[in-house]
Amino acid sequence: MIKKLLWHCIAFAWGFLIANPASAQNAAQPRLPTVELTAGMHVIQAEIARTYEQQSTGLMYRRKMGINEGMLFVYEAPEIRCYWMRNTHIPLTIAFIGDDGAIVNLRDMQPRSERSHCSTKPVRYALEMNQGWFKARSLKPGFKLLGIPLNPAIVP
């Protein structure tokens, strides 16, 4: 399992370096369409990154993000997902989310780092929020977020 996870992380990083059109980018992408998610009594306005280009750029080069704002990465199929923070200036926490909307695992990520942060099992979604957002609200693995677009085919 560890070898498979390591292989996925290496393959992701290599593919990102070789094929990523955003690697030459030096400005933040425009705001993306949003979806409203709820975590108990907390409301999140999450930009939806669905295309390869949107996902590759993510929150790079942004200098700030609202308290209850985030970016939701939506994929066609569950896989082990790995993220890094190259050219990202905001400290973030990433929640890897399963098909049912439940948080699988959380990882704090440091700005401008190339260290990989991976899901512990295959996931279809990942939600990046300001670092500490989940901890401050006592949201842990197993907690279900509502509003996750459970059918990726209909995400705008």
- What's the pLDDT at 155? 52
> How far is CA 65 from its chain centroid?
14
- H or E element at residue 2: helix 2-19
Q: Where are the domains of the chain?
A: 34-144
Length of the chain (residues) = 156
3-class state of residue 97 by DSSP: strand
Q: What is the pLDDT along the chain (156 residues), one digit of tens a residue?
A: 554 544 444 444 444 443 444 444 678 999 999 999 999 999 999 999 999 999 999 999 999 999 999 999 999 999 999 999 999 999 999 999 999 999 999 999 999 999 999 999 999 999 999 999 999 999 999 999 999 986 655 555
Pick the CATH number of 34-144 from 3.30.360.10, 3.20.20.80, 3.40.50.300, 2.60.120.1140: 2.60.120.1140
pLDDT at 27: 86
pTM of the model: 0.81
